[in-house]
Structure 1
């Protein structure tokens, strides 16, 4: 298990109180369900899902630094295995949003992911390293791995490119492992999806674009790991992981900026799009927004747009961190014209 052990050990230092002796789950028959689906490449397998329920009724009691009593929401963990859907490459788990019971449990977050089914295909004694993990938070609290990097409305669809990385380390105990590399600085993708009832994860594995690294044999200032990329290029830099954007560029022939949401405006052949859905603004009746995405469907933040409404009114601004336009009056929908002015920064 790539995530279970440290948190289970952490949990035993606390006790639950406030529910007598019964703090088990007892979901009501009409509890809403959340379905998590993974579209699985043949080289990978799903990991056991860690499901965490939270209770404000049954507190978790601990001692503070000065010996004071500290109360936090109680946690209840459940572990579930994905089930294959027929002979397809789809694997699913159904979760109950309301955990019920005397503690009034509610679904707080899940941690799951994919790993290589057979790491030894990359060499004898090769083990699995890291990467391929996903955290989805369903309430306003952090997960055991911290807060969410991305917040979404409605259902959650995750489609990400992944590359195999074989790493060889020499200092200390010799180790050779294979990891999964995707965008971001962590090995886990982290989302908050308060309203999601469907979570879909599709790791798009590019097996033919393997990157290798060889760590230094002597611990010395200026000695770094050497990365060898699929095109034969090499670099020795103070970086913990391979350059994901470099891998994207090697595979597609497109500039690295095209794969960076915050630098997408600098992409030489950018292909932005405006989703046709009109999203009413709850806090501003009579107004709504559109969402700007790149050609892979990723929401583009701080991206310039010029929209001509149905009434001829012109709206020009930049999208927010979720790729949404500023609120537009309902009289602007549907739009007459959509433009993305060339602005570089």
Structure 2
């Protein structure tokens, strides 16, 4: 597949290395691979997998905001299919880390995700809206999409997120009716995973919890989008998208704080856990760390813990912004007991 990929337009590089340069990809047979896997719910459909390779050898000419000439790493973007694995609900693609070729291409980032499978289920004129996108960066270069503030992940990347169907009617600027995927945060999930070789995405779609909204019909500072939630409640405030935590609360019956890693300590029935994987500390031989997470596997930053190591020694502290414990001696692994106090001892 990669040997047949088209060359980048010569115009992108003209004046830097000329038009005789071969810009094609040619991954070596022994290149490391990154596998991207999506577990697809039956109501959803796959977006195409967009892959970007970068090259420090084959530069790209561009201009800045003031018209000044700029030079940056060249890029080569391609679309690849995610192939179904047998009769399962898993779809996968394998991407060479080393793109090879005369430009020595390397894997930079990927964009993929899910959409609603049949928008016309909600009416003939209903079209796809937004949501369900994922961006993963494997280097520090600028990506195709995203806000530029990714979640930084060590090692492989596993993503499990809740999604809800969101049916919206727009009136100003022409009528449109769209079905989107409501989730926490921005349209795109954005990660930086420099060492990842496995990327797994499992969207958990709650099709029975439809939220509807109507846009304003007359433009006014006092007019807002009106949201109707699955319990029949109607809310019109300054929000431009559904209240995700309200949807989570309606579905589970649990407090809003239970779904926020920042406010999780206020969850009345919190269920934190020490993830079992022991992570040796590369900077401190003989030491390692654990991740502390909520019941869904989301790492909890600045969360208090106390554990009893196999030697009988007690260790206590607070996780770092990534949800990791402080460096612990090897004698703390595996722990005999783990506690999560409400306040620091």
Alignment of 1:260-299 (within 5 A): 260-299=260-299
The offset of 1:69, in angstroms, is 2.8
**SS at structure 2 position matched to 1:88:** coil
The offset of 1:65, in angstroms, is 4.4
Q: Is the 8 A contact 2:13 2:58 kept in 1?
A: no
The offset of 1:12, in angstroms, is 9.9
Q: Deviations over 1:167-222 (max 9, x none)?
A: 111111111101001111x1111111112111111111100000000111100111
The offset of 1:44, in angstroms, is 1.1
Q: Deviations over 1:119-156 (max 9, x none)?
A: 01012200000000000111122312243531212211
For residue 196 of structure 1, what is the aligned residue in structure 2? 196
Q: Check if 1:171 corresponds to 2:172.
A: yes
For residue 18 of structure 1, what is the aligned residue in structure 2? 17
For residue 4 of structure 1, what is the aligned residue in structure 2? none
Go from structure 1 to structure 2 and tell me whether the alpha carbon gap of 1:316 and 1:12 turns closer, same or farther (over 3 Å shift).
farther
Whole-Å separation in 2 of the counterparts to 1:65 and 1:128: 34
Go from structure 1 to structure 2 and tell me whether the alpha carbon gap of 1:89 and 1:66 turns closer, same or farther (over 3 Å shift).
closer
Go from structure 1 to structure 2 and tell me whether the alpha carbon gap of 1:107 and 1:269 turns closer, same or farther (over 3 Å shift).
same
Q: Is the 8 A contact 1:18 1:57 kept in 2?
A: no
Whole-Å separation in 2 of the counterparts to 1:176 and 1:300: 38
Whole-Å separation in 2 of the counterparts to 1:13 and 1:104: 19
The offset of 1:337, in angstroms, is 2.2
Whole-Å separation in 2 of the counterparts to 1:76 and 1:257: 43
For residue 330 of structure 2, what is the aligned residue in structure 1? 330
Larger mean CA deviation between 66-75 and 149-158 belongs to 66-75
Q: Which runs of 5+ in 2 are unaligned?
A: 1-8
Whole-Å separation in 2 of the counterparts to 1:13 and 1:22: 13
Whole-Å separation in 2 of the counterparts to 1:66 and 1:42: 49
Q: Displaced runs of 4+ in structure 1, greater than 6 A?
A: none
The offset of 1:96, in angstroms, is 0.9
The offset of 1:67, in angstroms, is 4.5
Q: Is the 8 A contact 1:47 1:81 kept in 2?
A: no
Alignment of 1:210-229 (within 5 A): 210-229=210-229
Q: Is the 8 A contact 1:286 1:329 kept in 2?
A: yes
Alignment of 1:2-151 (within 5 A): 14-15=12-13, 17-18=16-17, 20-145=20-145, 146-151=147-152
Go from structure 1 to structure 2 and tell me whether the alpha carbon gap of 1:197 and 1:221 turns closer, same or farther (over 3 Å shift).
same
Whole-Å separation in 1 of the counterparts to 2:256 and 2:97: 40
Larger mean CA deviation between 309-318 and 92-101 belongs to 309-318
**SS at structure 1 position matched to 2:262:** helix
Larger mean CA deviation between 117-126 and 242-251 belongs to 117-126
TM-score for the superposition, normalised by structure 2: 0.92
Q: Is the 8 A contact 2:59 2:71 kept in 1?
A: yes
The offset of 1:260, in angstroms, is 0.6
Q: Check if 1:231 corresponds to 2:231.
A: yes
Q: Deviations over 1:278-312 (max 9, x none)?
A: 11100111111011011111111111111222333
Larger mean CA deviation between 227-236 and 332-341 belongs to 332-341
TM-score for the superposition, normalised by structure 1: 0.92
**SS at structure 1 position matched to 2:257:** helix
Whole-Å separation in 2 of the counterparts to 1:214 and 1:189: 25
For residue 183 of structure 2, what is the aligned residue in structure 1? 182
How many residues of Structure 1 are paired with residues of Structure 2 in the alignment?
Answer: 333
Whole-Å separation in 1 of the counterparts to 2:172 and 2:244: 25
Whole-Å separation in 2 of the counterparts to 1:102 and 1:201: 33
For residue 247 of structure 1, what is the aligned residue in structure 2? 247
Whole-Å separation in 1 of the counterparts to 2:251 and 2:321: 28
**SS at structure 1 position matched to 2:263:** helix
